[in-house]
Amino acid sequence: MDLPKRPNVPYKELENIFENSLNQLKTFYILKSSIDLKLYDHLKGYKSFKEVSDMVNLKSILTYYILEILNKLGLVEKKDGLYKNSELSDLYLNSDSPYYKGKGFILITEKINMWENLINTMKSNIKKKDNNHFPLIIQVMGENTISGDLYDVVELISNLDEFKKAKKFLEIGGGHGFYTIALNHIKPDLEAFVFDLQNVIVETKKYIEKYDSKVKTIVGDFYKDSFGENFDIIFSSYNPSGKNPDIAKKVYESLKMGGLFIIKQNFPSENECDGLDELLANFEWNLTGLTNSKKGKRAFTFEKDLFFNDYIVFLENLGFEIIDVSKVNDLSPFANATINDKVIIAKKVG
């Protein structure tokens, strides 16, 4: 049998794909291990790798290489052979920090476990119970909000004349409630409410108590229950109802004339396959289902969701005037430059 001819495309191209993917996976597990070991709790001041190895009960040579890798990643500073947290890791990976992102890594680990057995995951039609899964999501979103766009969104809303005059405020699908808590601190006379599912409100109340807030809660399902009435402002941030026309109609009915609907939401592009990141997100979104919610085929979409332009037209036809539309990454210098999420401010006028 003759040897095959030289291939037209060199194997190196495929090898590079494998190597790059593997190195990213290795880096993730270094990060995960460093968090699980509470490494950043021990590196508030300069220490030698041998001191750190004793603290975390690892071989000194392994500790040395972990610290060197974290140094290359910008998470550890090195000076005269000693190591300590960088400003980045001290803010977000030190468990004493108010901006600690530990819950986020629990969620990422859940996703990794799902991807490790991808064929089984694809064939098993995994269902997650909404009420059991949402509390962790709420905690992760809370971490992201308090270290992300909270301050910029709150500044945007609190500077509005309508907010300064508002007496009654509602956040639907409010989850952690940080936006409402922060706004209520700015305007203590505001009667402020967070509306969400029972198991989610349990988490909301923890944050209300932690930050000594007077915010009230309303238990309900925004697909089924009324929000109430006579609200001056209704706010919505990244919740499953955010692109749904039926929910927008309920918001309209719950607002006073002249009231504001302020919505912060991800609106996917109408081009289904913009790039690899979007394709991966869409694929992952379809790996699992939620038992009580009907998901769409695009990431973070649900049945009846509208694209951005269609949603704007729907709001205008309802009787809203669009006052302003901002991109989230235009509001904050800390936002990811690839984010194309929108903040819409609409006034009930007819």
- Check whether residue 79 and residue 223 sit in a common domain: no
- Check whether residue 69 and residue 172 sit in a common domain: no
The answer on pLDDT for 331 being more than 80 is: no
Q: Is 271 within a domain?
A: yes
The answer on pLDDT for 268 being more than 50 is: yes
Over residues 202-223, the mean pLDDT reads 94
- Check whether residue 29 and residue 164 sit in a common domain: no
Residue 109: per-residue pLDDT: 83
Residue 232: per-residue pLDDT: 98
Q: Is 124 within a domain?
A: no
Residue 332: per-residue pLDDT: 46
pLDDT band (50, 70, 90) for residue 337: very low
Q: Where residue 90 sits, what CATH number does that domain have? A: 1.10.10.10
Query: Structure pTM?
Result: 0.85
Q: Residue 290 belongs to what H/E stretch?
A: strand 288-290
Please report, to the nearest 10 degrees, the dihedral formed by the alpha carbons of residues 206, 211, 214, 219 taken in order.
-20
Q: Distance between CA atoms of 169 and 47, rounded to whole angstroms?
A: 50
Cα-atom radius of gyration of the chain, to the nearest Å? 24
Q: Which domain holds residue 239?
A: 131-348
Q: Which of 212, 216, 255, 211 is nearest to 232 (CA)?
A: 255
- Check whether residue 327 and residue 272 sit in a common domain: yes
Look up tokens 């819950």; give the residue: 103
Do 162 and 345 form a contact (C-beta atoms < 8 A)? no
Please state, as a whole number, how many other Cβ atoms lie within 10 Å of the Cβ of residue 113.
10
The least confident of 120-134, 181-195, 300-314 is 120-134
Residue 267 burial by CB count (10 A; 0-12/13-18/19+): exposed, middle or buried?
A: buried
- Check whether residue 225 and residue 291 sit in a common domain: yes
- Angle, vertex CA 300, rays to CA 153 and CA 150, nearest 5: 15
% of the chain at pLDDT higher than 70: 91
At 65-107, the pLDDT tens digits run 999 999 999 999 999 999 999 999 999 999 999 999 888 888 8
Please give the tally of structural domains in the chain: 2
Q: Is 179 within a domain?
A: yes
Q: Which residue has the higher pLDDT, 335 or 234?
A: 234
Indicate the length of the chain as a whole number: 350
Residue 290: per-residue pLDDT: 62
Q: Residue 219 belongs to what H/E stretch?
A: strand 216-219
Q: Is 299 within a domain?
A: yes
pLDDT band (50, 70, 90) for residue 309: very high
- Check whether residue 52 and residue 136 sit in a common domain: no
**Cα 84 to chain center, whole Å?**
28
At 208 the three-state DSSP class reads: helix
- Angle, vertex CA 110, rays to CA 240 and CA 97, nearest 5: 85
- Check whether residue 140 and residue 53 sit in a common domain: no
- Check whether residue 338 and residue 228 sit in a common domain: yes
Q: Which residue has the higher pLDDT, 114 or 18?
A: 18
- Check whether residue 255 and residue 332 sit in a common domain: yes
Q: Where residue 341 sits, what CATH number does that domain have? A: 3.40.50.150
Q: Distance between CA atoms of 69 and 303, rounded to whole angstroms?
A: 44
Q: Is 202 within a domain?
A: yes
Over residues 127-150, the mean pLDDT reads 75
Mean pLDDT across the chain, nearest whole number? 89
The answer on pLDDT for 42 being more than 60 is: yes
Q: Is 7 within a domain?
A: no
